[in-house]
Chains A and B, each alone.
Chain A
């Protein structure tokens, strides 16, 4: 398995995937710095107070995180989608699997190598973005590390499902399905919140089921909660009742982070899907 992990990492470096990621991150961080400096300058000139500026910065940061979560999820999906199928199609795996290597080791090695890339990229990009924001606006979210970790978690979830699909489907088909699943999961989160606010239990439970089928929405809410200033979360809790539920339906707002039980569920989900990927690939004829 160690060989497969190493080969996956070398491939990412040699094929300039990592460099492309890092280059884009630097560009985004510079644009963020410029955008924040212009906005704060303008707000201060118009007499906006510091608390309002902090709320504004946190909301923009959440929007940036949303964009970033999309980029990360797509990157993870398109790294994972061809990870097995392209090597089956090209014949690279014929010589590899004739060696004393278990198919489970191949799947776990590929997954682990790609997960290291995704997590490392998320960490570097997160530090860049939050560092630039702190430097320009003096705002640091209350929980920067969990915020980045939840983003990485979303990418891992999508990476895992893309590896599973890659054991059976061509890369393009697996990647396209991942994009659709990502969109559906995000929509399920929004619809579930709205259904709860409008007291539509059937729709809410259906949406909730979809949220558990691909557990992205809960992790996204964790990112949002970690990036908000405490005053915003407190406001949401104070509103309460139907109004509070309506506020919760907003995908860019969260009154609490994910429960430990939910995080455990996500970990088990990842393990189960990986197990399914191994089962699927063991049965595949090369």
Chain B
């Protein structure tokens, strides 16, 4: 592991009696990146986070977070964590929850007030700082959870389903917050089911299934090539040949598809069709979504498993 690596695991495994929660997780998360950790229910995502934080003990393999073994006390000062299923003490006020976590995180007491105000503002809870947590909605509790995770200027933040209880405005706020963290060099380990969210904020993703990483890489690499579909009428075969320079062409009725294609070429393609006498009715730039890739990979995995058995 180098200084440029925030998290690294080698064959990290967790077994609960007969149940294998994590079969052997191997991954590398570079510092300063937003890393999406995806997988179907029961794939071992939350187990992996708990192992990385030292909340559960691995039954095999090894891992390092911020250069220290998993669960290292000193390293935990530099880690923030928003659990998936959590609650804070309902009888405390939001500000008191944050103060308690400042103390637990070892933040010097003269910095508590500044840290608390700063994280409350980041999650939009400044006006509710003096309210009891018991009176908070689920979304507000989630915002408070994110604020707690950001205390102590962590170098790595684990966010386990951070937007599951949030409305669209809240989700947009969390996206902005993640961008803010990345700008400040913080590594974000994002565990989420919301593939659209992951696609919009992550630099790199790992897709995990049955406790194993089935693919890991930069999001651009994973999503693959772009395409364009164009509905054209009154366009002859000779003119069609002129489109070959933009990429491989397929025709299905009135629809022409070029894949792969450079995004910048689309206006030129349309201009070529129009110059050739064609009438353009619709232009649909396209790209495989993360969801498409995710589902396709899971199908492949299932097919491989079926073939093995």
Contact = CB atoms under 8 A, between A and B. Distances in A.
Interface of A: 2-3, 7, 10-11, 14-15, 90-92, 94-102, 285-286
B85 A99 contact: no
B56 A286 contact: yes
A100 B55 contact: no
22 contacts: A3-B104, A7-B89, A7-B100, A10-B96, A11-B89, A14-B91, A92-B88, A92-B89, A94-B55, A94-B81, A94-B85, A94-B86, A95-B86, A95-B88, A95-B148, A98-B55, A99-B104, A100-B76, A101-B104, A102-B73, A285-B57, A286-B50
B101 interface: yes
A2 B106 CA distance: 12
B87 interface: yes
A194 B87 CA distance: 52
Given A10-B92, A90-B87, A94-B86, A100 B103 contact: no
Interface residues of B, number: 32
A100 B57 contact: no
B145 interface: yes
Contact of B91 (A10, A90, A95, A98): A10
B101 to A, nearest CB: 7
A16 to B, nearest CB: 10
Nearest to A94: B83
A91 B81 CA distance: 12
Nearest to B51: A285
Nearest to B81: A98
A31 B77 CA distance: 54
B53 interface: yes
B214 interface: no
B277 to A, nearest CB: 66
B106 A100 contact: yes
Contact of A95 (B56, B74, B103, B145): B145
Given A10-B92, A98-B53, A92 B104 contact: no
A91 B104 contact: no
A96 B91 contact: no
Nearest to B152: A99
B79 interface: yes
A7 B99 CA distance: 11
Interface string B180-212: 000000000000000000000000000000000
Contact of A91 (B56, B83, B91, B101): B83
Nearest to A14: B91
A102 B85 CA distance: 22
Contact of A3 (B74, B81, B83, B100): B100
A3 B89 CA distance: 13
* Max chain B C-beta neighbours (<10 A), residue from A14, A94, A101, A102: A94
Nearest to A285: B56
Contacts of B73: 100, 102
Nearest to B14: A285
Nearest to B87: A90
B280 interface: no
* Max chain B C-beta neighbours (<10 A), residue from A10, A15, A99: A99
A237 B106 CA distance: 59
Contacts of A95: 81-83, 86, 88, 101, 145, 148-149
Contact of A98 (B16, B79, B106): B79
Interface in B89-128: 89, 91-92, 96, 100-101, 103-106
Contacts of A98: 53-55, 76, 79, 81, 83
B105 A99 contact: yes
* Max chain B C-beta neighbours (<10 A), residue from A14, A90, A98, A100: A98
A92 B101 CA distance: 12
Contacts of B91: 10-11, 14-15
A98 B56 CA distance: 11
Contacts of A15: 91
B55 A96 contact: no
A221 B92 CA distance: 41
A86 B83 CA distance: 16
A259 B86 CA distance: 48
B123 to A, nearest CB: 15
A11 B89 CA distance: 9
A55 B223 CA distance: 89
Contact of A97 (B55, B57, B74, B85): B55
Contacts of B88: 92, 95
A91 B100 contact: no
Contacts of A285: 16, 50, 55-57
Contact of B87 (A92, A101, A286): A92
Contacts of B79: 98
Contacts of B92: 7, 10, 14
A100 B71 CA distance: 9
Contacts of B105: 99-100
